[in-house]
């Protein structure tokens, strides 16, 4: 289905332009000033692009180029951790924060950046995130010790929150409700496929040039992506094209009064304290003073957050959305299913190495099945969503994730590789089907001027689910193995049992994701969208 041509592209290029041709409020002398060559170049590029009926897809390509340059190093850096540990004379328990630190920083910063994008414009926020990613890449590539490395990766998570919320909000502004599910499918494809491509291309780079070269290469990609985004995306977008009410444009510059600072910091404090409980509890004991204090702080911060959202004029996440089933249950499904998906993702390599005796290289090869099918199924899942509806697609995806955890639970010492591959495939396909559908469902519940809020809410649920899944599932498996005195035992039914307990925990949360999906509401009288 072809998108209709944009109406009045000149107004997209200059939101202050008068339909008669002159800029509003510009005097004759001011109007005669020749713009600089970068401005002329950008106007020419955008002027040509917006006249095309496919402009939305050109803009989507620019957005996805930035996303790819950001996430291409996420997975492959794990390959370099043994080398990093040796160079910095540290241990793996410290280096796990290279992966979980950015995820936690992402979840904490997402609500703030979502609101900031709604206030000041998502294109500006997206470019800010790309610039921050460049700084993070340089700091990572030049890190002299593990402390600066962890700081650089945490910064990468913060700017990831800026680009993540802005990229989705831009897509929701560019595409109307009938066609945005297709765009979100491609967004999920790049989000899941970028790390797969990174493993394929980055592993040889690490082997022959060292892990620091990986981030110098990423820096070059980020520079190119930033130029493409700056050229192709106009400063402001209409939230939708065609019939319908006029969208709410970003607030004028400088209106920080609309920012919910108390809500931002209290939510960040609650999430940080809760994750700290999960991180230090297994190490120092669940009844230790540190865990107790962190738990109390998490509850207090969350109480402050709820109070603020109920009383502030422009809250971080407006409370009217808390009563909308397709907003809250879609967010719950994302959190629970990502708990299972990422908990299983980190548990799987240990299972294959310790129980089945696979080499690291073979485990890496088999592991690609899950993110690869995640990436490939996202665009294909569009056909299911537009024909059967977002609710059914979400239910199908959540059930697939639950079935995957069920297969892992039933593994035996002599189980064949084909069963393991099917379990991995179900996880990847399930998440590939469900995530674009939940994004579209949540987007259809919010007003045009609050797409950043929606993006932040779903990314917060996703990141908290991921971090909690990693910490809880791995901790549970290690605790069961240690309690039985089997930490160093391989190829045994009893060691396999400790992994099954971890997958049982992941399965319980996946079941909660299925419940949330079933409680979503199918839009009354919604017509099926024709696929192109």
CATH number of the domain encompassing residue 458: 1.20.1250.20
Return d(Cα 264, Cα 214) in angstroms, integer.
34
161 and 188 assigned to the same domain = yes
**2 with 178: CB under 8 angstroms?**
no
Burial of 509 (0-12, 13-18, 19+ CB in 10 A): buried
416 and 506 assigned to the same domain = yes
Return d(Cα 262, Cα 110) in angstroms, integer.
15
Write down the residue that tokens 């069961």 correspond to: 480
Whether 200 maps to a domain, the answer reads: yes
Whether 267 maps to a domain, the answer reads: yes
| pLDDT band at residue 516 using 50, 70 and 90 as cut-offs | very high
| Positive/negative CA dihedral, 513, 60, 198, 69 | negative
Return d(Cα 230, Cα 212) in angstroms, integer.
28
458 and 326 assigned to the same domain = yes
| Positive/negative CA dihedral, 287, 304, 447, 326 | positive
Return d(Cα 119, Cα 166) in angstroms, integer.
12
Q: For 64-92, what is the mean pLDDT?
A: 75
Q: What is the pLDDT of residue 396?
A: 93
139 and 224 assigned to the same domain = yes
203 and 350 assigned to the same domain = no
Q: What is the pLDDT of residue 273?
A: 85
Calculate the average pLDDT of the chain.
76
Whether 26 maps to a domain, the answer reads: no
Domain boundary among 296, 313, 330: 313
Q: Which residues contact 111 (CB under 8 A, 6 or more apart)?
A: 263, 264, 267, 268, 316, 317, 456, 457, 460
Whether 202 maps to a domain, the answer reads: yes
In 169-278 the beta strands, taken as DSSP E runs, fall at none
Whether 429 maps to a domain, the answer reads: yes
Q: State whether residue 269 is helix, strand or coil.
A: helix
Write down the residue that tokens 């980055």 correspond to: 202
pLDDT in tens, 341-383: 988 887 888 888 788 887 766 777 787 788 888 878 877 777 7
Q: State whether residue 17 is helix, strand or coil.
A: strand
pLDDT in tens, 475-503: 788 777 776 654 444 446 677 888 888 89
Whether 23 maps to a domain, the answer reads: no
Q: Give the total number of structural domains in the chain.
A: 3
Return d(Cα 350, Cα 475) in angstroms, integer.
13
Task: Please check the confidence at residue 94 and state whether its pLDDT lies above 70.
Answer: no
| pLDDT band at residue 234 using 50, 70 and 90 as cut-offs | low
Q: For 492-519, what is the mean pLDDT?
A: 88
375 and 251 assigned to the same domain = no
Q: Look at residues 211, 186, 185 and name the one whose alpha carbon lies nearest to residue 198.
A: 211
Token pair listed for 113: 């950046």
Domain boundary among 222, 241, 259: 259
150 and 266 assigned to the same domain = no
pLDDT in tens, 4-63: 444 433 333 333 333 333 333 344 444 444 555 555 555 665 565 556 667 788 888 888
Distances in whole angstroms, Cα of residue 282 to Cα of each of 97, 141, 199, 349? 15, 32, 31, 21
Write down the residue that tokens 């996946």 correspond to: 510
The larger pLDDT score, comparing residue 182 to residue 398, is at 398
Cα angle, residue 164 at apex, residues 391 and 199 outer, rounded to 5°:
95
Domain span at residue 336 reads 319-525
Q: Look at residues 489, 309, 323, 508 and name the one whose alpha carbon lies nearest to residue 408.
A: 508
In percent, the amount of the chain with pLDDT more than 70 equals 75
201 and 248 assigned to the same domain = yes
Domain boundary among 220, 239, 259: 259
Whether 22 maps to a domain, the answer reads: no
* End-to-end alpha carbon distance in the chain: 4
The larger pLDDT score, comparing residue 466 to residue 136, is at 136
159 and 13 assigned to the same domain = yes
Distances in whole angstroms, Cα of residue 412 to Cα of each of 199, 343, 354, 386? 29, 20, 13, 39
**463 with 106: CB under 8 angstroms?**
yes
Whether 99 maps to a domain, the answer reads: yes
361 and 491 assigned to the same domain = yes
Compute how many other C-beta atoms are within 10 angstroms of the C-beta atom of residue 380: 13
Q: For 273-300, what is the mean pLDDT?
A: 81
**474 with 347: CB under 8 angstroms?**
yes
Token pair listed for 128: 């800010």
CA 375 to chain centre: 13
129 and 153 assigned to the same domain = yes
138 and 268 assigned to the same domain = no
Poorest-confidence range of 120-129, 338-347, 384-393, 502-511? 384-393
Compute how many other C-beta atoms are within 10 angstroms of the C-beta atom of residue 160: 27
């Amino acid at each position: 289905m072809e998108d209709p041509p944009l109406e009045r592209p000149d107004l997209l290029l200059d939101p202050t332009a008068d339909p008669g041709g002159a800029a509003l409020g510009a005097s004759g002398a001011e109007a005669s000033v020749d713009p600089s060559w970068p401005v002329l170049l950008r106007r020419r590029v955008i002027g040509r692009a917006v006249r095309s009926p496919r402009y939305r897809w050109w803009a989507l390509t620019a957005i996805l180029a930035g996303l790819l340059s950001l996430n291409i190093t996420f997975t492959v850096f794990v390959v370099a951790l043994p080398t990093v540990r040796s160079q910095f004379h540290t241990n793996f328990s410290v280096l796990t924060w290279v992966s979980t630190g950015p995820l936690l920083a992402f979840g904490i910063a997402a609500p703030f950046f979502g609101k900031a994008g709604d206030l000041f414009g998502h294109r500006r926020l997206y470019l800010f995130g790309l610039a921050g990613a460049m700084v993070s890449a340089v700091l990572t590539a030049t890190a002299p010790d593990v402390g600066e490395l962890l700081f650089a990766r945490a910064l990468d998570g913060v700017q990831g929150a800026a680009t993540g919320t802005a990229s989705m909000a831009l897509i929701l502004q560019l595409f109307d409700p009938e066609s945005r599910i297709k765009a979100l499918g491609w967004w999920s494809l790049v989000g899941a496929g970028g790390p797969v491509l990174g493993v394929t291309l980055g592993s040889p780079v690490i082997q022959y040039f060292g892990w620091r070269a990986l981030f110098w290469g990423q820096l070059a990609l980020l520079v190119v992506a930033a130029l493409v985004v700056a050229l192709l995306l106009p400063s402001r977008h209409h939230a939708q094209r065609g019939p319908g009410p006029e969208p709410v444009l970003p607030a004028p510059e400088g209106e920080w009064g609309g920012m919910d600072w108390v809500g931002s910091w209290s939510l960040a404090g609650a999430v940080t304290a809760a994750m700290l409980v999960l991180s230090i509890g297994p190490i120092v004991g669940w009844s230790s003073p540190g865990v107790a204090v962190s738990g109390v702080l998490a509850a207090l911060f969350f109480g402050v957050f709820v109070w603020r959202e109920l009383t502030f004029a422009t809250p971080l996440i407006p409370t009217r959305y808390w009563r909308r089933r397709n907003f809250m249950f879609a967010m719950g499904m994302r959190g629970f299913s990502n708990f299972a998906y990422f908990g299983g993702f980190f548990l799987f390599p240990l299972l294959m190495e310790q129980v089945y005796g696979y080499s690291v290289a073979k485990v890496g090869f088999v592991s690609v099945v899950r993110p690869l099918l995640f990436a490939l199924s996202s665009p294909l899942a569009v056909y299911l969503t537009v024909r059967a509806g977002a609710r059914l697609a979400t239910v199908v995806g959540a059930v697939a994730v639950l079935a995957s955890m069920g297969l892992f639970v039933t593994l035996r010492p002599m189980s064949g590789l084909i069963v393991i591959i099917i379990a991995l495939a179900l996880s990847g396909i399930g998440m590939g089907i469900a995530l674009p559908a939940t994004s579209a469902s949540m987007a259809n519940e919010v007003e045009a001027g609050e797409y950043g809020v929606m993006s932040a809410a779903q990314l917060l649920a996703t990141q908290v689910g991921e971090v909690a899944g990693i910490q809880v599932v791995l901790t549970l498996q290690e605790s069961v193995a240690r309690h039985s005195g089997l930490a160093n035992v391989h190829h045994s039914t009893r060691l396999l049992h400790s992994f099954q307990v971890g997958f049982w925990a992941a399965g319980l949360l996946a079941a909660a994701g299925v419940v949330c999906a079933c409680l979503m509401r199918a839009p009354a009288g919604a017509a099926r969208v024709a696929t192109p």
